[in-house]
Amino acid sequence: MAMQNISLRKATIKDKALVIDFDYSLNKVEHIELKREEKITKAILDKKCFIILENNKAVGFVIFDYRFFDQGWIELIIIAEKYRGKGIGGQTFDLICKQSQADKVFTSTNSSNIQMQKALSKVGFSFAGKINGLDDGDPELFYYKMTDNRKAKNKSPHTTLYKKP
């Protein structure tokens, strides 16, 4: 398989329809019930939403910030169905960890989302714990990865990701 050139670009309000379409196409019910359009719009306006590009073509998005105990937090990552299983998610996780301004990057997924659990394990995320009660009968599993960015204060100001406040 040819190696893709994966990059991240900060989403702008002009990307709103594209990002919403990625999310809506994947799971219409969740998109509506979880009021994802509002969440996505806020993330774009707060400069915390990034378009995932494969060879400069938009294939998904990620919402990333530092509100989880001042550590990196991947709130949501969506890759279009036809681009899944090609290593794009893994490369995106690696890119986020390399560009993060924190020592650790955390994320979570439901216990029922075996595909995401396998993907996280494959790219070096470690299980951090479980919380019951968020989704009835489907515990939330938390994962983290050390970023090797303890020198974060010395990182280049040209990184793509949102910087810690």
Where do the structural domains in the chain lie, given as residue ranges?
Answer: 6-154
- Give the pTM: 0.85
pLDDT grade for 27, boundaries at 50, 70 and 90: confident
CATH class of this structure's domain 6-154? alpha beta
Lowest mean pLDDT among 16-30, 46-60, 89-103, 117-131: 16-30
Task: Render pLDDT for 55-81 as a digit per residue (tens, 0 to 9).
Answer: 999 999 999 999 999 999 999 999 999
CA distance 73 to 56: 24
Neighbouring C-alpha atoms within 13 Å toward the C-beta of 65: 16
pLDDT at position 163: 61
pLDDT at position 124: 95
CA distance 123 to 92: 10
Output b/e per residue, 127-158; b: 16+ Cβ within 10 A.
eeeeeeeeeeeebbbbbbbebebeeeeeeeee
